[in-house]
């Protein structure tokens, strides 16, 4: 639901978001450096099973904490404004979808598709694609291409009407 916000409040929300996001980004950088130093110090063989568990477990833990913090930072304005009276009706599902699609550019969709092709190409150079489960890598690379194509068609149809 739309809520009236003064220009000063808006600027305060943006400044608080930028400050907290900067702290979160620096925290993730320091945590990754700390994880790297800790694994070098405590695990003699990084390529061992224990080393891989420590590295990937640490990365997953750090990224999970970062995502929780970032979603909290992102939702701070709506939590601050949740008790304020709304100004008008909320966007319908179709209007919200149209607004979200209008913010995505065709260049971003093309980049997403190229990333899928690049991923499939990279995996094809590393593994024997025509045999066994490695045949799944081109499919995994095709998923972003398919998703970008569907979104591009939806965006084109939306702009036509």
Render 72-131 in DSSP notation, one character per residue. Answer: HHHTHHHHHHTTSPPSSPPPPHHHHHHHHHHHS-HHHHHHHHHHHHHHHHHHHHHS-TTS
User: Do residue 15 and residue 76 come from a single domain?
Assistant: yes
The conformation of residue 132, written as its DSSP 8-state character, comes to: G
pLDDT of residue 114: 97
User: Do residue 72 and residue 143 come from a single domain?
Assistant: no
Output the tens digit of pLDDT for each of the chain's 161 residues.
677 888 999 999 999 999 999 999 999 999 999 999 999 898 888 888 888 899 999 999 999 999 999 999 999 998 988 888 877 788 889 888 889 999 999 999 999 999 999 998 888 888 877 777 778 888 889 999 999 999 999 999 988 87
- Residue 137 half-sphere exposure toward CB, CA atoms < 13 A: 18
* Chain segment 95-142, per-residue pLDDT in tens: 888 899 999 999 999 999 999 999 988 888 888 777 777 788 888 899
SS3 133: helix
Give the structural domain span for 146.
91-160
Placement of tokens 């979160």 in the chain: 24
User: Do residue 5 and residue 47 come from a single domain?
Assistant: yes
User: Do residue 7 and residue 78 come from a single domain?
Assistant: yes
pLDDT of residue 160: 87
Domain termination residue (choose one: 89, 117, 135): 89
User: Do residue 76 and residue 105 come from a single domain?
Assistant: no
Cα–Cα nearest to 155, from 105, 118, 107, 80: 105
pLDDT of residue 76: 93
Under 8 Å between Cβ of 92 and 1 = no
pLDDT of residue 159: 87
pLDDT of residue 126: 83
User: Do residue 156 and residue 129 come from a single domain?
Assistant: yes
User: Do residue 19 and residue 60 come from a single domain?
Assistant: yes
User: Do residue 115 and residue 53 come from a single domain?
Assistant: no
What's the total number of domains in the chain? 2
């Amino acid at each position: 639901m739309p809520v009236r916000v003064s220009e000063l409040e808006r600027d305060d929300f943006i400044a608080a978001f930028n400050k907290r996001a900067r702290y979160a980004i620096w925290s993730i950088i320091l945590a990754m450096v700390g994880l790297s130093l800790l694994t070098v110090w405590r695990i003699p063989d990084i390529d061992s099973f224990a080393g891989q568990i420590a590295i990937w477990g640490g990365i997953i833990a750090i990224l999970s904490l970062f995502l929780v913090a970032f979603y909290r930072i992102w939702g701070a304005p709506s939590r601050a404004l949740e008790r304020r009276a709304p100004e008008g009706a909320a966007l319908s599902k179709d209007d919200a979808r149209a607004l979200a699609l209008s913010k995505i550019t065709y260049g971003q969709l093309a980049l997403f598709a190229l990333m899928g092709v690049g991923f499939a190409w990279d995996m094809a150079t590393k593994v024997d694609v025509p045999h066994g489960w490695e045949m799944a890598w081109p499919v995994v690379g095709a998923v972003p291409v398919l998703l970008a194509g569907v979104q591009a068609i939806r965006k084109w149809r939306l702009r036509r009407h």
